[in-house]
Amino acid sequence: MKIAVVGCGAVGSYYGASLCQAGQEVHFLLRSDYDVVRQKGVTVHSVRGDFHVQPRCARAPEEIGVSDTVLIALKTTANDQFPKLLPTLVGRHTAVVTLQNGLGNTEQLARLFPPDQILGGLCFVCLNRVEPGVIHHMDYGLIVLGEFRRPAGPRTRALAELLQAAGVSCKTTDNLAQAQWEKLVWNIPFNGLGVAGTAGYEIFETQNPKLKIENRVGSCLPTDKLLADPRWEKLVRELMLEVIRIARALGHKIPDSVADDRIARTRTMGAYKASTLLDFERHQPLELESMFLEPLRQAQSARVLVPRLARLCKVLKQLDALR
């Protein structure tokens, strides 16, 4: 299978390298890392065993051409580049798979390509890109794969089998929208509070509606610190339950017990910095729209009260502006 990887950070590089190691024809579309990856390849330091691969490298999509599968692992802040990067890669039978965080990504792709070609993959994995072409994989790796507004079909199941053969745990879902909300149960609190922690816990207790943040007084909070402090852990749980309430209002049957499960799993991760924390520390734009603001809009449309999420969005918007 000819596979194009668009967005070769931690997620794209890890899954693309896994498929390359399994013998697939994998093309990385690269920008700043092009020279390093072309010369040295991709090295993955993994809890499941280190490996090194030499994927095919391209600077422009025209160098790759039409592919069987396109894996999109761009930050959602770069989704405005879809019309420039993707059409050359997509033919009549190409599976267009977004591995991105949050909501709205499949809808953006469906405005460019036939909806029956659009898939989404939810990645439950702990990893970081530590330098160009070098990925540190700490834990997990599951992909939950589904189709845009359709049950999983033969193509989706075949792609899941391909990923399984490459050593990537993968299962399919007939309800991609629900799976997206299930992932947000983790993403919103741990990505959001990890960054909001720079403003201090008190910002969530103040009654000041203007919420002016003059200075960042602390550092980002990785998962272990959020769960070690009872105040932050309480906020984590409250946010999780708000996300679950939104999902239920939209017709997705997610039980409250999912919050306990996510917290228990997170305790095994150690001092893990979620992607939004790394973006903030690197002074890069935060994925506010897809991961926080769109869920808040859907809560408001469904008339679900989510005071913690609303406050978190205000904090993150102001911190992003300071960046």
| Catalytic positions | 183
CA distance 111 to 294: 18
